[in-house]
A = this chain, B = another copy of it.
Amino acid sequence: MAGRAQIAERHQAARWRPPLLSRSLPPPAGGLDLLEHIATVLVVRREQEIYCQDSPADHYYRVMSGSVRTVKLLADGRRQVSAFLLPGDLFGFEALATHDFAAEALQDSLVARYPRRAVEALAQRSVQLSQLLCALATARLRQAHDRMLLLGCMTAPERISTFLLQMSDRAPPSAEGRFELAMSRRDIADFLGLTIETVSRTLTALRRDGTIGIARRIRIEIRDRQALQSLIGALRP
């Protein structure tokens, strides 16, 4: 269970298949292209661990295709999903000495890996890069605050609505409110601080009243964005 991160290098890509949620890789953000020279590309299979909880944090990572979750596992089986990472997202950089969370692929994915030492050496010389990294940490902090609000204040329907709108916003704009969930109901539940049953029931209720459409469990269509937004409207500060 608590084994070391097992990482498939590029040449282990036997039977690798293109990810469901594939998106064209966004161009590296300003300053980030520096990193591409020191990157290793990892091919990870569905459900495969990229790094495990409490392992030394000596790499930064970036999703190139597919998707990734970061999770914390507790002694009694309770689980918390910290984030879902989509193509372009950096992760693993928020750790101090060791990773607080494990990172696992939601589906067959390509992940770029950057040696931490090398990144920090580059950051010493590039103001742009160091500022970018700092901005990323701050952005992550802001995201964490949003999650705290969700977990601390919101009801189940509000959490689900927030989640659906977020996923919709992160999908390619061309999708028009249609997207596919790469994660299981358990992942969603552990992300939102609910049980799988509550997630399922709430989604069903939204489907019943026509707010969303659900096909094959994972194909979501937002039919009434207004309704979802009004569900969480009371929360806007």
Whether the pair B148, A73 counts as a contact (CB closer than 8 A) is: no
Chain B's closest residue to A78 (CB) is: B153
Given the interface pairs A75-B237, A96-B138, A138-B94, the reply to whether A148 lies near B151 with Cβ below 8 Å is: yes
Chain B's closest residue to A124 (CB) is: B127
Indicate if A104 sits at the interface (CB-CB under 8 A): no
Whether the pair B138, A237 counts as a contact (CB closer than 8 A) is: no
Bound form: Cα–Cα A137–B145 in Å: 13
Residues of chain B within 8 A (CB-CB) of A153 are 74, 78, 80, 193
Indicate if A13 sits at the interface (CB-CB under 8 A): no
Indicate if A54 sits at the interface (CB-CB under 8 A): yes
Bound form: Cα–Cα A190–B148 in Å: 11
Q: How many chain A residues have a CB neighbour from B under 8 Å?
A: 39
Q: How many identical chains are in the complex?
A: 2
Bound form: Cα–Cα A140–B73 in Å: 21
Indicate if A141 sits at the interface (CB-CB under 8 A): yes
Bound form: Cα–Cα A135–B144 in Å: 17
Residues of chain B within 8 A (CB-CB) of A223 are none
Whether the pair B82, A237 counts as a contact (CB closer than 8 A) is: no
Whether the pair A75, B137 counts as a contact (CB closer than 8 A) is: no
Indicate if A218 sits at the interface (CB-CB under 8 A): no
Residues of chain B within 8 A (CB-CB) of A101 are 145
Indicate if A205 sits at the interface (CB-CB under 8 A): no
Whether the pair B236, A72 counts as a contact (CB closer than 8 A) is: no
Bound form: Cα–Cα A74–B82 in Å: 23
Whether the pair A149, B72 counts as a contact (CB closer than 8 A) is: yes
Residues of chain B within 8 A (CB-CB) of A148 are 80, 82, 144, 147-148, 151
Interface residues, chain A, with chain B CB atoms under 8 Å away = 53-54, 72-76, 78, 80, 82, 94, 96, 100-101, 130, 134-135, 137-142, 144-145, 147-149, 151-153, 190, 192-193, 233-237
Q: Could you list some 8 contacts between A and B, CB below 8 A?
A: A74-B149, A75-B237, A94-B138, A96-B135, A130-B130, A134-B134, A137-B141, A144-B148
